[in-house]
């Protein structure tokens, strides 16, 4: 038995066109070289441990905002315009700008006990869970 299949060369062309990665050169606002903040989140019985990679950032330029179960991390790297006399920039590949990330956890965070450390380009957050409010039963008199 023969298994013949009819193929459309135009369909094959377009299938390959959309699958191949497309590279854009230059330094555009939507440049794919812009860094993304990589985040690991682990849940423990008491809270959440978050590790966020922020290489090259200064701790003064990192901001963490907690609103109930929502955690937002933002950081900005400012460009240093230090060009010495007689020097010209031939190429710059380092990224300057803002990165941010927000995510929602399963339970509200106790902001008063939360802590943050920044070491070797990694932001470490310790986010304790807020104690759930116990329902109170009222006695009717």
> Taking the domains of the chain in order of start, what are their residue ranges?
35-78+98-130
For position 82, what pLDDT does the model report? 67
If one counts every other C-beta atom within 10 angstroms of the C-beta of residue 69, the result is 16
Q: pTM of the full predicted structure?
A: 0.64
Instruction: State how far the Cα of 62 lies from the Cα of 45, in Å rounded to an integer.
Output: 27
Q: Any idea which fold 35-78+98-130 has? A: Immunoglobulin-like (2.60.40)
Give the gyration radius of the chain's Cα atoms: 25
Give per-residue pLDDT as tens, 94-129.
777 888 999 999 999 999 999 999 999 999 999 999
Which residue bears the tokens 């315009």?
81
- Tens of pLDDT, residue by residue, the chain (141 residues): 556 666 665 555 555 444 443 333 333 444 445 567 899 999 999 999 999 999 888 999 999 999 999 999 999 887 776 666 778 777 777 777 888 999 999 999 999 999 999 999 999 999 999 887 777 788 887
Question: Can you read off the two tokens belonging to residue 9?
Answer: 């060369």
Helix (H, G, I), strand (E, B) or coil at 97: strand
For position 124, what pLDDT does the model report? 97
Closest CA to 35 of 51, 50, 21, 55: 55
For position 2, what pLDDT does the model report? 58
Question: Can you read off the two tokens belonging to residue 126?
Answer: 């310790």
Phi, psi at 74, each rounded to 5°: -135, 150
For position 19, what pLDDT does the model report? 43
């Amino acid at each position: 038995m023969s298994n013949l299949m009819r193929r459309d060369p135009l369909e094959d062309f377009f299938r390959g066109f959309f699958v191949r990665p497309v590279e854009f050169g230059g330094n555009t606002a939507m440049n794919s070289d812009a860094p993304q903040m990589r985040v690991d989140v682990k849940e423990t019985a008491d809270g959440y441990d978050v590790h966020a990679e922020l290489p090259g950032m200064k701790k003064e330029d990192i901001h963490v905002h907690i609103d109930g179960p929502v955690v937002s991390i933002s950081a900005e790297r400012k460009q240093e315009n230090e060009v010495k006399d007689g020097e010209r920039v031939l190429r710059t590949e380092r990224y300057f700008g803002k990165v941010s990330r927000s995510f929602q956890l399963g339970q509200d965070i106790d902001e008063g006990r939360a802590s943050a450390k920044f070491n070797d380009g990694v932001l470490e957050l310790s986010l304790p869970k807020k104690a759930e409010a116990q329902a109170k039963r009222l006695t009717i008199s």
